[in-house]
Amino acid sequence: MPLSPAQLLSEEPAVLGFDPVALKARYDFERDRRLRPDGLAQYVRIEEKLGNAEKDPYTPWIVREPIDEDLEVLIVGGGFAGLLAGAYLRKAGIEDLRLMDAGGDFGGTWYWNRYPNAQCDTEAYIYLPLLEEVGYIPTRNYAYSQEIFEHSRRIGREFELYRNALFQTEATAAVWDEQITRWRVNTTRGDNLRARHLILATGGLTRPKLPNLPGVDTFEGRIFHTSRWDYGYTGGDNAGGLTGLADKRVGVIGTGATAIQCVPPIGASAKELFVFQRTPSAVGARGNLPTDPDWAASLPSGWQRQRSEYFVAAIEGHEVPLDFPGDGWIDLIASNQKAVRALRAAGLRLTPEELARVTANADYEKMEQIRRRVAAIVKDPKTAELLKPFYRPLCKRPCFHDEYLETFNRPNVHLVDASEGGVERLTEAGVVVGGRVYALDCLILATGFEVGSSVGKPGGLDLIGRNGLKLSEKWRDGFVTMFGFTTAGFPNCYFNSRTEGPLPQNIPTLLEEAALHIAYLVGEARTKHAQTIETTPEGERAWQAEMNSKRRDSERFYSQCTPGYFNNEGQLSTSAFYGSLYGGGTIRFFDIIRQWRESGRLEGMALDGAAEKASAEPVGPPEIANR
């Protein structure tokens, strides 16, 4: 039975069933021994070590001539962020637009992520956007990558985004030209584009990274990143059946969300599998089931938006209808918020110390459940102990899977403890950990994507705004925006990615709200016959004040976390992942930007260059400036 809110106020191990002081000490110990002085420098871009030969293994090279043209809107990025921006612009009547992406088709992360068993982490009914608009219901509650990729293409067809799309194309420069009030954009294909509005929809997970290990280029076996999966070598497909590994000794570096999904099919196919683990993930039950056709037929109009709103509310501990099923995210994350709300509803006024105790104890309880699950599934006690996570739930991205832990019961699967310093180096023969060489035929890098290292260079692009201002210079110490969507000095430029917004767990929910907001701004400029629309310094400062007022608790929390991309590998900075999060919650954030749009006053924004002449009056969204 879960602990009651009143029990969570206790400090007594006999009442709680665990010792919070001992757990805090263990969490601190596990964090400290994983801290590294090189921080993010321990990773490099994949092309720096492995070259560009496998830049796009999925689509033959598209031959085309360079394009020289003026257009109204250019969207850089063809994943969900770009597709949603394009869809909402189409809804607003914008026809003159292009989408650009480095991949050979739409999909973004889901164009590249085709590794075995790849699937979404939040339920597909809210993860796949625009389901009602395109008339589609996912086949399972957690869709696999091929279905998600096909849905991306479905959106592209439905909203005619294939028209004028530029695939296998990357922007190399984007400079604001005051004379023509357009963005001059150059590309890897020699294109010269002049866009009235520029939307950076490059997402938060775009460029593969790998450990900056000595000897990566000397390894004589096969090596590839999970986002460039080599089925020609492994055999099989997204469903598994990796027959090419039957006589191979395979290593996997990384134990995050990607490895949780691909390790089971590798373990089922390889002669031997070595999983090199620095920090274990928290792995809860998944329960992936086919969609009930009767349920799908009963869905009313507006069901997806309502379901998304219920999910956000439940994550933040609010009561939702009893028939809302929820999922592992809600069970793992919302318990502390529910406890706090229950105590306050009972009339208790919690001191800051009591509030911290309740939330910490609720987190301890949930992670104790995760650790008990490991012990119940993994048969070897030593392996089970290594797989137990000792940190609070949101220190690392939680994972959910029904086969990952079970895979370590296979006699051919070995967990290698790399908690002390990680993998040391590669040799011609294999991987070195703790001075021992693990001989391998194939090394698979499940090391994820850049997250915190590209602040100021969305998608690797360093924008140049008014008066030669570089975005990388403006954001040198972290993001500075209004709502995360616009920034002063960069007119007609919008960001639909992870910049100063909340963390709603279901990222497409935020991307869709951002797309709606951006389409509103472009539409307002068009309706008012304005050449430019731009955030004023005053509007920007108002949002920064709101961000700062909600940032303190996040910094305190993540300073105690085990190293990872959430906390900049333990090197705290406002440019880290946590530093860019809006700490007021998703519901509050959506309320602020929706009320701002509904007011119709464009407070904190200026049309046709007025931002340069903005007064010193404290102008800002009324929900912020008046506090």
Distance from C-alpha of 78 to C-alpha of 202, rounded to nearest angstrom: 8
Q: What is the pLDDT of residues 257-303, one digit of tens each?
A: 999 999 999 999 999 999 999 999 999 998 899 999 999 999 999 99
468 three-class SS: helix
For residue 551, what are its two tokens? 């940032």
> Rounded to whole angstroms, how far apart are CA atoms 261 and 122?
14
Q: Give the span between the Cα atoms of 64 and 420, in whole angstroms.
A: 50
Lowest-pLDDT range, 231-245, 301-315, 444-458, 470-484?
444-458
Quick check: 192 and 180 in contact, CB under 8 A? Answer: no
d(C-alpha 602, C-alpha 175), whole Å: 25
Q: For residue 380, report the phi and psi dihedrals to the nearest 5 degrees.
A: -80, 120
How much is the average pLDDT of 549-553? Answer: 77
Cβ burial of 321 (10 Å; 0-12, 13-18, 19+) is: exposed
The domains found in the chain, sorted by start residue, are 68-106+161-207+453-537+602-615 (3.50.50.60), 208-281+396-445 (3.50.50.60)
User: 33-70 as b/e, with b when 16 or more CB fall inside 10 Å?
Assistant: ebeeeebbebbbbbeeebeeebebbbeeeeeeeebeee
Provide the β-strand partners of residue 209: 45
Instruction: Give kind and range of the element (H or E) at residue 442.
Output: strand 442-445
Which of 474, 481, 510, 504 minimizes the C-alpha distance to 583? Answer: 504
Rounded Cα distance between 468 and 91, Å, is 34
**Tens digit of pLDDT for each residue in 139-157?**
999 999 999 999 999 999 9
Portion of the chain with pLDDT greater than 90, in percent: 67
- Helices assigned H by DSSP within 484-576: 507-527, 537-549, 552-559
In the predicted model, what is the mean pLDDT of residues 38-67?
72
Report CA torsion sign: 526, 531, 535, 536.
Answer: negative
pTM of the model: 0.91
Q: What is the DSSP letter of 240?
A: B
